[in-house]
Amino acid sequence: MHLILLGPPGTGKGTQAKLIAEKLNAAHIATGDLFREAVRQGTELGKQVGAYMERGELVPDELTIATLLERMRQPDAREGAIFDGFPRTLQQARALDEALAGHGMAADLALLIDAPDDEIVRRLSGRWLCPACGRIFHEVSQPPKQEQLCDGCGGELMQRDDDKPEVVRKRLEQQRPPEELLAHYRKQGKLVEIDGAQEVEAVTRDLLAAIEKTTVVS
């Protein structure tokens, strides 16, 4: 299966993508990770992607899709793929549909993990990270054993500027999946909405149930 995970920041989309990919034995394809790996490997696509990243510019849709398709040719993607972070716009969705169709494939489901703004702000504004080792903590759900210190390396924790409450609300306005993108998948009968305000295990359960239902129907 080829699944698309949609949702604003703070709904656990990346975490769920990894969990679902593992359970389905599918490849977890996150565009940011994909770009960095392509650059590291020094492939032709990686060189092109790297040029845009060095200039601080967005990677064009056609190059992003070409990178996705190249990744999907790898052995671990034979059982399917979970797209995490793409598409973000209607134009990208249409381009992805066309590219997949050209290879005899199609997205099976677009899974929208969503939650109320207040819940997302609570989650993101309580998040602290260790710049030394990258571990992430949360004031409520996963606090450090010692205040402001990383459990792993003992480094001093910091909060990203874009995790501060007033900034989070502005980010949400810009980073929620646009309605026209959701309408695109809704019209195809592929959009399934999942309550992202639940605990991680409950969200995973609902995602797997939606996927299983689609598998049975198809």
Which sequence positions are flagged as catalytic? 13, 88, 127, 160, 171
Sheet containing 191-195: which strands, arranged edge to edge? 27-30, 81-84, 2-6, 109-114, 191-195
The helix (H) or strand (E) run that includes residue 34 is: helix 31-41
DSSP 158: B
Residue 162 CB contacts under 8 Å (≥ 6 apart), including other chains: 168, 171
Are 184 and 93 within 8 A, CB to CB? Answer: yes
Half-sphere exposure of 190 (CA within 13 A, CB side): 19
Q: How many CB atoms lie within 10 A of CB 125?
A: 18
Which residue type is seen at 113? I
- Report the SS3 class of residue 144: coil
Count helices and strands (H / E) in the chain.
9, 7
- Residue that the structure tokens 């190059």 belong to: 63
